[in-house]
A and B are shown apart, each in its own frame.
Chain A
Amino acid sequence: MKATVEVAGYTTLPLQLPPTSICPTPATHYLYIRPHEPRIPDPDSTRSLFIVNAPIDTTEVHLRHLFSTQLSAGRVERVTFEDIPVKKSGIASATEPNLSHRPNKKRKRVTADDLQGTLDSINPPQPGTARSKNPAPTPSSMESSLKAAAKAARKGTTLLWGEGIPADRVPALGVQRYLSHERRRYPERGALLRTVNDFMTVFEQVSEARKKEEAKKAGEPDEDGFVTVTHGPKLNSVAREEEMRELVERRKKKEEGLEDFYRFQSREKRKERQQMLLRRFDEDKRKLQDIRMRRGKIRPE
């Protein structure tokens, strides 16, 4: 049996999804695999595989199991998930928070790991959600894995997704998943307080450190001997905006009542109003034309 082998440069690996009571007919899923070629190559990239079109419940365990046990092609060192930007931000997809604020970057460098750690401890990422189609570099004996995959595909070996993984190593799906999800929504009070306290302490430290750093930088001349002068707190821009707005308002108020002072003013105003009315009338005409185009003649229902 010669099944499909390549799609757009990817080797395809058919996987059989386990049948369920609801869906008794087994379905075949296709993994697309190719050597990892990141734009900026790193030492690991030569032994990484890039996998896409993964089933939605893929976890590291699944992949390790697939490559080492099911394909017996080598061991997986590390699995990195990446997510494709979800266009619809209205849906909370459980992906790793990788949003970083530019102003905080410095701070992140200092204690980013602690912070991330603390945050993750209160808010464990949900098991295996919406993480489909993840390009996943799998540093392993890359070529042999790829070959094994291609071979398996060609031979039509049935690889049952997740077969043989002990149930307690992968997170449960179905009702269990949602129940535990609901449960985890409510962290224990003590733990939460602890996290908050930890976070706030770290946060204080970070902001303290940053302030110091900035102060230091402000006083230090650079190589050309210039001292960078920075203006005060960032709040200013907002405050100034408001001030400006107020100023404009005040000026407007001052000018109130003076619009009709000269004859030419009132004449101009009248003219303008007339023009505006005319314009609006023309607009109305266009609108009617539009309606006629859309709905045909105006007729009672």
Chain B
Amino acid sequence: MSTHTVKRRKLSPSPTNDTSATQSKSSNGASTTNSKGATEKPAHVSARKPDNSSKTNSAHRAKDERTAELAMASGFYKSGFFKLQVDELTSGLRINYDKRISKVQDTLHKVKNAMEGLPEISPKSIVDAEKELRTASGILVPWPEPRPSKDAKYTISYAKPTNINVVGSFGLRTGAKSAESRPVDLAVTMPSSIFQEKDYVNYRFFHKRAYYIACLAAGIQETVNSLGLEVKFGFQDGDSLRPIILLESRSSKEETPPSQPQIRILTAIDPNLFPITRTLPMKNNIRQGSSTDTTEAGEPTPYYNASLRSEATVSLYHKYLYSASQKCDSFRDACILGRTWLQQRGFSTSFQKGGFGGFEWSALISLLFEGGGPSGQPILLRSYSSYQIFKATMQFLAGRDLSTPLFLFASDVPVPDGGPVLYDGRRGLNLLYKMTPWSYSILRQEATTTLKMLNESREDNFDRVFIVKVDEPALRFDRLLTFPKSFNGDTLRSLHDQKSVYQVLSRALGDRVKLISLTSRSADSWPVKSKALNKKASHDLSVGLMLNGENVGRTVDHGPAAEEKEEAASFRAFWGRESRTASIQGWQYCGKSCLPDEDSIVHQILAHILQRHFKIAEDDFFLHGDEYDDILYDEGDEVISYSNSPFQSINDAFGELEQSLRNMEEVPLSIRHVAPASPLLRYAALRVQGSDGDNEAADIVLQFESSSRWPDDFAAIQMTKAAFLVKVGDSLQDAGAASSCRVGVENESSKVLNSFYLDIFHISGFTFRLRIHHDREQTLLERQLKNKSISPREREEIAYALFSYKKAFIQTPRLTQALRSLCTRLPLLSPTIRLVKHWFASHLFSAQISEELIELMTTRAFTQPYPWECPSSIMTGFLRTLHFLSRWDWQQEPFIVDLSGDLNPEVTETIKTRFTAWRNIDPAMNTIALFVASDLDTEGVTWTQYEMPSKVVAGRMTALAKAAVSLLRKEHDELDVAELFHTSLAPYDFVIHLRSKLLGDGSASASKYKNLAEANVPGRASKLALVKSFVRDVQACYNQSILLFHGDERSDVIAGLWNPQTLKPRTWNLKTAFSTAPVSSSGSLEKQDSVIINQPAILNEIARLGEGLIEKIETSQ
């Protein structure tokens, strides 16, 4: 309480002047615990202070408190909102330890007493001891591999533990609530009397320890059973050298929240039992042969040593962390933040899961209070807030490469290469000993990304740092590799095996990958009376690859020159026969040339290398990630990359056309601008074919230099446009740039919309559709809109015309320009967009969700990729887009994408204001469901206004994305990718099956209607146009009563839903704009007062309208 008073005095004199002073002070970091206290309980303080009676005074007080809190937030946190969320998160995750202690205290006491009361067992030979234990209590000693030989000369024994303590997060109160239960750790310090001086070599310590554990288990069995718990063995941190006892609540399977938390009984030894010098990372403690006295020979055994040392440091670290938590107020909250962050990224203490968990995090923080800076100064200050600690630690992890060792309180301890080293000299332990080079590189990458998120000013990113689960492998890695062949064996062996796999893979893939990650599952616990579980099942290895987008497609690796004999030999040994000599470059590995229907380069390399080094046949490993490329290849006209020839040739053709347009002489106005405005010209069209293929017409927009001779009347403008188009067409034909041209009519029912376009059949074989952009139209429309004397209906039409003007002539060319440059900069953007388009089309969204919207939503995964980095495969790009969609709460949040890199906080603010305004005008979301803005289009309604899509459809989109993501989380890498693209027709009320002949391979129908269709109408495009105008017709006729869904030209169904509101009988009036049939609601036959929708008649009408198009109509009833 006193701290608050101090604070109060500081602030009280003059509220207005002092606020800024406080702010500057706190941002200097000068205000320490006082302001901290103010942050935590501001509300209570003012409430609890009764001494200031006057009301105005207390109002001032309240304001001061707020100011102080704000000052805290702005000085110490990313933003006020971020701070509030952090507070909310930590308070939500803080564990009520008093409650938990009262729950388990009794159990702990009983267990402790049981352990203390165990009788000693005198030294025996290993065989005897084991047999005795088995006959007495049926317990099998959980020997670590290799189990002790029968003729071992040393003896094993049991003696009363020196002490028994609660340690770990429970003891320190640093735990955070999470899905997994937080175990209570009970450390049993083994007496030094049972060990000998040389026990640190050749597993002797671990064998004695295993026996000790078994004796404990045998001894407490009875007590524990009476408490309703079950005794099991498990591994500490997945380390098979150190089995531990787990006490689990027996009924845990039936009751979902177990009444008792898991209790883990670990062992510890006196820190001085073995000298630190014996367990330094470079010492060798596993010796060949029996001569234990030959020292300092052989390979260093860092993991073994550290594992042994960590037994000795249990109490040391516990004390150390406890003192840190006492010294720094926000230590516990910082631990909660850290634990959450690690958990969301799949890190935990066990070495299979990265070897960096809650314990390592808190130990790291404690150490950073004392050092770690460039010249040994501390990185963290005790006055830091939890967020500051978190961020500074991120900075440390990201900035300091621990592969070059960092020594604290020690200097120059020799360490092995490879893994990260953070050597704590006082306790003699490399804190990161369980981390492998690969897990460390992932940790660093995550820290770097997180730091970027925290430093980004335009977005909050709180969700992405703490809330989003990042560790789903298919979202994180570009390729996933699984070996059904297991790397069984104990921790040391599998560590060794994994290392060799890692080395081979990283050498084989070279700079094609940025990162390789190996993960295996840790072993489960097992009952004390049986052997450890089949290790084969539990050690499946899966590898995640993060590809390097630029290099992954390279087909040839150049080896060392032939002159460098040694390197050449090793190169050949590594690659085997397939490396061939090339006269100049020396040795090279030639991947087969990348024909698209063959396997990808990565797959080929892996197949070759795994076969060569690990004898894994091609059928035995599974590479996940190429399927997405395959689907795109099948669906997207065999085009994958933006640099493939169809895209290039259509862009070349556009270039030529632009040139010929600029060279026109007969047209009276000179040309200002020719802009591409089609998905085909921004590498985003799903289907694209070569010049002789069957493409849709590519939209382009032509703008003349302004002239005062244009008329001011809408209809006259359109007519003038028509005249210009005819002229342009003629002169292109005369110049030989186009084989033919024709003017087409659109929007024939409106006077204010653009009504003419020119189809240009370019000599290259592509078709372009040219529209004239006349910027005066906008002024005229806007002026008309301001005109107060027009009827609401006219106003609506004018507003729509303005909307479509902006869309067609301003935003589409802009978007095209932006995407063209983005697609060339990010090579995977184009294929990802196209695959996402396929997803939308296969779920029948083509009529409701515009292509541009899909493009924007996909681009976001690339330009704002957090919490990941920019995707380097189609798989990650695609899945992350779905992941984003599944999480996007479009009712409450605008969608903002950065297209040109100009998105700054001000723009974001403008967009958000607009969004709020829209939601205020249209809270029911009748015209705008999705609000999609970019830095180029801050209005945010260009692609989604006028129910594109409507609320219902947007909801369905989210539901489908959610379903896809949950399927992914369930199946992981066993996911059948085709499943994602398969849509169910069950939810629809009726399904119209189109005639496949019309939509299928065009030749038949094209010849059938040859007399009708113009010779130069592209078949596929016209078929799509037929279906589209049919759907548009039907939808226009029944837009009150039905909602139609259809896919692209390859899907041959149109699905429909009845508007549920129209299904009820209702009284008829003139606004009832759908076919109805009279029904009797009151029972009288003569006077009918209400009507009901006449479904059979509507279906009949649809059938007649679509005769020749429709195969059959199925209704769900």
Kindly state the interface size class of chain B when it binds its partner.
35 or more
Residue among A123, A135, A186, A298 making CB contact with B743, cutoff 8 Å: A186
Are A300 and B344 interface neighbours, CB within 8 A? yes
Stretch at the interface among B254-262, B490-498, B553-561, B1008-1016: B1008-1016
Q: Report which residue of B748, B1009, B1030, B1109 has the largest number of chain A beta carbons within 10 angstroms of its beta carbon.
A: B748
B723 at the A interface (CB under 8 A) = yes
Q: Report which residue of B69, B344, B1067, B1096 has the largest number of chain A beta carbons within 10 angstroms of its beta carbon.
A: B1096
Are B80 and A90 interface neighbours, CB within 8 A? no
A101 at the B interface (CB under 8 A) = yes
A281 to chain B, nearest CB (A): 5
Are A55 and B1036 interface neighbours, CB within 8 A? no
A52 to chain B, nearest CB (A): 7
B133 at the A interface (CB under 8 A) = no
Are B70 and A278 interface neighbours, CB within 8 A? yes
Are B1106 and A174 interface neighbours, CB within 8 A? yes
Residues in chain A near residue B80, CB distance under 8 A: 277, 280-281, 284
B81 at the A interface (CB under 8 A) = yes
Are B790 and A130 interface neighbours, CB within 8 A? no
Residues in chain A near residue B16, CB distance under 8 A: 271, 274
Are A179 and B1105 interface neighbours, CB within 8 A? no
Residues in chain B near residue A185, CB distance under 8 A: 744-746
Are B1100 and A23 interface neighbours, CB within 8 A? yes
Are A196 and B1039 interface neighbours, CB within 8 A? no
Residue among B70, B468, B751 making CB contact with A301, cutoff 8 Å: B468
Residues in chain A near residue B1029, CB distance under 8 A: 178, 181-182
* Bound-complex Cα distance A184 to B1017 (A): 13
A64 at the B interface (CB under 8 A) = no
* Bound-complex Cα distance A284 to B16 (A): 22
B796 to chain A, nearest CB (A): 6
* Bound-complex Cα distance A97 to B93 (A): 64
Residue among A57, A93, A102, A274 making CB contact with B1105, cutoff 8 Å: A57
Within 688-724 of B, Cβ neighbours of A (below 8 Å) are at 711, 713-716, 719-720, 722-723
Residues in chain B near residue A5, CB distance under 8 A: 1086, 1088
* Bound-complex Cα distance A186 to B1035 (A): 24
B1108 at the A interface (CB under 8 A) = yes
A160 at the B interface (CB under 8 A) = no
* Bound-complex Cα distance A153 to B1086 (A): 12
**Nearest chain B residue, comparing its CB with the CB of A131:** B1037
Within 129-145 of A, Cβ neighbours of B (below 8 Å) are at 129-130, 132-133, 135
Are B716 and A2 interface neighbours, CB within 8 A? no
Stretch at the interface among B292-300, B651-659, B975-983, B1068-1076: B1068-1076
Residue among B81, B1073, B1100, B1109 making CB contact with A17, cutoff 8 Å: B1100
* Bound-complex Cα distance A94 to B746 (A): 11
Q: Scoring A residues 265 to 301 as 1 if CB is less than 8 Å from chain B, else 0, what string do you get?
A: 0000011001001101110110110001010011111
B189 at the A interface (CB under 8 A) = no
* Bound-complex Cα distance A200 to B19 (A): 71
Stretch at the interface among A6-14, A67-75, A221-229: A6-14
Answer whether A187 and B743 are a contact pair too, CB < 8 Å, given A300-B466, A300-B469: yes
A112 to chain B, nearest CB (A): 12
B2 at the A interface (CB under 8 A) = no
Answer whether A28 and B749 are a contact pair too, CB < 8 Å, given A173-B1107, A281-B73: no
Residues in chain B near residue A187, CB distance under 8 A: 743, 745
A209 at the B interface (CB under 8 A) = no
B893 to chain A, nearest CB (A): 10
A45 at the B interface (CB under 8 A) = no
A175 at the B interface (CB under 8 A) = yes
Q: Report which residue of A30, A123, A176 has the largest number of chain B beta carbons within 10 angstroms of its beta carbon.
A: A30
A84 at the B interface (CB under 8 A) = yes
A62 at the B interface (CB under 8 A) = no
B775 at the A interface (CB under 8 A) = no
Are A94 and B1075 interface neighbours, CB within 8 A? no
Answer whether A299 and B92 are a contact pair too, CB < 8 Å, given A30-B1077, A174-B1108, A196-B719: yes
B85 to chain A, nearest CB (A): 6
Answer whether A88 and B947 are a contact pair too, CB < 8 Å, given A271-B16, A278-B67, A284-B84: yes
Answer whether A175 and B1088 are a contact pair too, CB < 8 Å, given A28-B1077, A97-B750, A298-B88: no
A232 at the B interface (CB under 8 A) = no
Are A101 and B714 interface neighbours, CB within 8 A? yes
Residues in chain B near residue A7, CB distance under 8 A: 1068, 1078, 1088-1091
Residues in chain A near residue B1030, CB distance under 8 A: 178
Are B946 and A84 interface neighbours, CB within 8 A? no
* Bound-complex Cα distance A184 to B1097 (A): 29
A22 at the B interface (CB under 8 A) = yes
Residue among B88, B749, B784, B1067 making CB contact with A101, cutoff 8 Å: B784
* Bound-complex Cα distance A89 to B927 (A): 11
Within 1-50 of A, Cβ neighbours of B (below 8 Å) are at 2, 4-8, 10, 12, 17-23, 25-30, 32
Are A8 and B1067 interface neighbours, CB within 8 A? yes
Q: Report which residue of A18, A101, A187, A287 has the largest number of chain B beta carbons within 10 angstroms of its beta carbon.
A: A101
Are A56 and B1105 interface neighbours, CB within 8 A? yes
A122 at the B interface (CB under 8 A) = yes
A167 at the B interface (CB under 8 A) = no
Residues in chain A near residue B1087, CB distance under 8 A: 6
A238 at the B interface (CB under 8 A) = yes
Are A175 and B1068 interface neighbours, CB within 8 A? no
A258 at the B interface (CB under 8 A) = no
Kindly state the interface size class of chain A when it binds its partner.
35 or more
**Nearest chain A residue, comparing its CB with the CB of B1027:** A178
A172 to chain B, nearest CB (A): 9
Residues in chain A near residue B952, CB distance under 8 A: none
**Nearest chain B residue, comparing its CB with the CB of A296:** B92
Q: Report which residue of A189, A282, A299 has the largest number of chain B beta carbons within 10 angstroms of its beta carbon.
A: A299
Residues in chain A near residue B1080, CB distance under 8 A: 4
* Bound-complex Cα distance A185 to B756 (A): 10
Residues in chain A near residue B946, CB distance under 8 A: 88-90
Are A203 and B711 interface neighbours, CB within 8 A? yes
B1074 to chain A, nearest CB (A): 8
A180 at the B interface (CB under 8 A) = yes
* Bound-complex Cα distance A300 to B948 (A): 33
Residue among B713, B720, B1033, B1069 making CB contact with A129, cutoff 8 Å: B1033
Within 55-103 of B, Cβ neighbours of A (below 8 Å) are at 63, 66-67, 69-70, 73-74, 79-81, 84-85, 88-89, 92-93
* Bound-complex Cα distance A8 to B1067 (A): 8
B1025 at the A interface (CB under 8 A) = yes
**Nearest chain B residue, comparing its CB with the CB of A12:** B1078
B253 at the A interface (CB under 8 A) = no
Are B1078 and A301 interface neighbours, CB within 8 A? no
Residue among A30, A270, A288 making CB contact with B84, cutoff 8 Å: A288
Are A102 and B789 interface neighbours, CB within 8 A? yes
B742 at the A interface (CB under 8 A) = yes
* Bound-complex Cα distance A21 to B790 (A): 48
B818 at the A interface (CB under 8 A) = no
* Bound-complex Cα distance A183 to B1025 (A): 12
Are A8 and B1068 interface neighbours, CB within 8 A? yes
Answer whether A102 and B790 are a contact pair too, CB < 8 Å, given A27-B1100, A91-B1036: yes
Residues in chain B near residue A179, CB distance under 8 A: 1009, 1012-1013, 1026
* Bound-complex Cα distance A135 to B1070 (A): 9
* Bound-complex Cα distance A184 to B1032 (A): 17
Residues in chain A near residue B1111, CB distance under 8 A: 22
Residue among A28, A30, A132, A237 making CB contact with B1073, cutoff 8 Å: A132
Are B1096 and A203 interface neighbours, CB within 8 A? no
Residues in chain B near residue A182, CB distance under 8 A: 1013, 1017, 1022, 1025-1026, 1029
Residues in chain B near residue A133, CB distance under 8 A: 1072-1074
A104 at the B interface (CB under 8 A) = yes
A/B interface sample: 9 pairs, CB < 8 A: A6-B1086, A23-B1104, A87-B1039, A93-B1036, A102-B787, A173-B1105, A192-B726, A281-B66, A300-B467
Other A-B pairs, 6, CB within 8 Å; known A57-B1104, A193-B723, A196-B719: A30-B1077, A52-B1070, A84-B1070, A176-B1012, A186-B745, A192-B722
